[in-house]
Amino acid sequence: MSRVDIEKAFYLKLGRGGEWEDEAIRTGKIRFGWIEQTLEDINTRRWDLIEEKVRANFNGKHKREATRALNGLRMIAESGPEDLWITFYQDKLWWTRVASSPVEKDGISFFRRTAQPWTDYSASGRLLAINDLPGQLAQIQGFRWTVCRVNCLNQLRRTLSGTRSDLATLISSDRDALAHHLTEAIKELHWKDFEILVDLVFRDAGWVRISVLGQQAKAYDLELLEPITGDRYVVQVKSRAGRADMEKTEANFSPKDFRRVYFVVHSPANDLANDNKFVELVPPDRLARLVMDAGLARWLEDKVS
First to last CA, the chain: 44
pLDDT of res. 80: 95
Q: Any idea what DSSP says for residue 32?
A: E
The structural architecture, per CATH, of the domain 167-304 is: 3-Layer(aba) Sandwich (3.40)
pLDDT of res. 219: 47
Whether 9-161 shares its CATH topology with 167-304 is answered no
Cα distance between residue 196 and residue 200, in whole Å: 6
pLDDT of res. 145: 86
SS3 breakdown of the chain: % helix, strand, coil, rounded to 5? 40, 20, 40
The tens place of each residue's pLDDT in the chain, 305 residues long, gives 478 889 999 999 999 989 999 999 999 999 998 888 999 999 999 999 998 888 888 776 678 888 888 999 999 999 999 999 999 999 999 999 999 999 999 999 999 999 999 999 999 999 999 999 998 999 998 888 889 999 999 999 999 998 888 888 899 999 999 999 999 999 999 988 999 999 999 988 888 888 765 554 454 588 899 999 999 999 999 999 998 988 888 888 888 989 999 999 999 999 888 777 889 999 999 999 999 999 999 999 999 99
Cα distance between residue 194 and residue 109, in whole Å: 66
pTM: 0.70
Domain residue limits, the chain? 9-161, 167-304
Bridge partners (DSSP) of residue 92 are 89, 129
Burial class (CB in 10 A: 0-12, 13-18, 19+), 174: exposed
Which option is the CATH number for 9-161: 3.10.590, 2.60.40, 3.40.50, 2.30.30? 3.10.590
The beta strand positions in the chain, using DSSP E, are 9-12, 29-32, 84-89, 92-96, 104-105, 110-113, 147-149, 208-209, 222-225, 232-241, 260-268, 279-282
